[in-house]
């Protein structure tokens, strides 16, 4: 009997289908079954061959469609059926994507896998908003953190470490805790007038970029009515968006 194909854990990028890797496009085009997440955009789903099975495993913060254990087991049983299985995930599978947990589960069950990187939201959103993540004289590095915590728990980040004016801070899944994020960063010493951006649906035609400051971030998010998926970029580099936005006009928060 021939060896079953590996499970492909594929990054779909932030939304714009043109940001898929060549490898991702090829593997999606050869899939028998695709298990995909909420954040995989419609034009990317349209690349799945017509005769292939699509399984939605989507997750929204408060609305878990399929528990992670179930997704893990599903991947194992699909792989054992000998079909070409693609696990398609928003952004990069190894950045806040639980792709590594799925890979561990496959490993534990003796199933081979390959991982295809994708453009992570922080790269896609900031690029399409005209915000460089680093820039000489403005930011020496970048922090990627999650602003999400389990329901009922306090967001527990190393605020002292994150409140560094020389480092850009990118926060995934921060909407629910935006007020805490703002307060804690200011309390830890990051100036309230540090430029900040909230970017919704980055790289898609309806991307929304709201430019503000750390001190007004929570208010702006509320006034602009931003919903998921939204990413926050905080740091001096955000000040360049007015010059470098090549894609669409940013919105000032008024």
**Cα maximum dimension of the chain:** 65
In the DSSP assignment, the letter for residue 19 is G
For 171, other C-beta atoms within 10 Å of its C-beta total 27
For 11, other C-beta atoms within 10 Å of its C-beta total 27
Give residue number: closest CB to ligand SAH. Answer: 91
Whole-number CA gyration radius for the chain: 19
Task: Exactly one of 59, 89, 164, 201 is catalytic; name it.
Answer: 59
Q: Which residues of this chain interact with ligand SAH, rule CB under 6 A?
A: 14-15, 39, 89-92, 95-97, 120-121, 125, 172-173, 199-203, 228-231
Give whichever of 83 and 251 is closer to ligand SAH, judged by the CB atom. 251
Cα 193 to Cα 63, 106, 190: the distances in Å are 35, 46, 9
In whole angstroms, how close is the CB of 116 to ligand SAH at the nearest point? Answer: 12
CA distance 229 to 125: 11
For 151, other C-beta atoms within 10 Å of its C-beta total 8
Give whichever of 48 and 221 is closer to ligand SAH, judged by the CB atom. 221
Does the active-site annotation cover 59? yes
CA distance 33 to 84: 6
Task: Exactly one of 18, 23, 32, 37 is catalytic; name it.
Answer: 37
CA distance 104 to 68: 12
CA distance 53 to 105: 22
In whole angstroms, how close is the CB of 137 to ligand SAH at the nearest point? Answer: 27
Give whichever of 15 and 195 is closer to ligand SAH, judged by the CB atom. 15
With tokens 């496009």, the residue in question is 25
In whole angstroms, how close is the CB of 6 to ligand SAH at the nearest point? Answer: 20
Give whichever of 92 and 164 is closer to ligand SAH, judged by the CB atom. 92
Give whichever of 80 and 227 is closer to ligand SAH, judged by the CB atom. 227
In whole angstroms, how close is the CB of 104 to ligand SAH at the nearest point? Answer: 16
In whole angstroms, how close is the CB of 4 to ligand SAH at the nearest point? Answer: 26
Alpha helices in 92-197 (DSSP H): 99-108, 121-128, 159-162, 178-187
Does the active-site annotation cover 89? no
- Active-site positions read 37, 59
């Amino acid at each position: 009997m021939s060896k079953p194909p590996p499970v492909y854990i594929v990054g779909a990028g932030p939304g714009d289908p043109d940001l898929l890797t060549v490898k991702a496009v090829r593997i999606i085009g050869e899939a028998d079954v695709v298990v995909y997440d909420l954040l995989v955009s419609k034009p990317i789903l349209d690349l799945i061959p017509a005769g292939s099975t699509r399984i939605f495993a989507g997750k929204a913060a408060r609305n878990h469609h399929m528990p992670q254990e179930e997704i893990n087991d599903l991947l194992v049983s699909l792989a054992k059926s000998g079909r070409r299985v693609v696990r398609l995930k928003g952004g990069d599978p190894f950045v806040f994507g639980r792709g590594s947990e799925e890979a561990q589960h496959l490993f534990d069950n003796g199933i081979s896998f390959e991982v295809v990187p994708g453009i992570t939201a922080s790269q896609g959103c900031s690029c399409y908003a005209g915000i460089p993540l680093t820039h000489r004289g403005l930011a020496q590095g970048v922090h990627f953190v999650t602003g999400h915590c389990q329901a009922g728990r306090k967001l527990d980040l190393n605020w002292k470490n994150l409140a560094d004016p020389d480092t850009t801070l990118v926060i995934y899944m921060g909407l629910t805790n935006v007020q805490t994020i703002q307060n804690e960063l200011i309390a830890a010493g990051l100036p309230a007038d540090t430029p900040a951006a909230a970017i919704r649906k980055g790289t898609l035609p309806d991307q929304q970029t709201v430019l503000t400051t750390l001190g007004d971030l929570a208010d702006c998010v509320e006034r602009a009515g931003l919903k998921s998926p939204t990413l926050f970029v905080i740091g001096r580099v955000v000040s360049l968006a007015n010059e470098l936005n090549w894609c669409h006009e940013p919105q000032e928060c008024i």
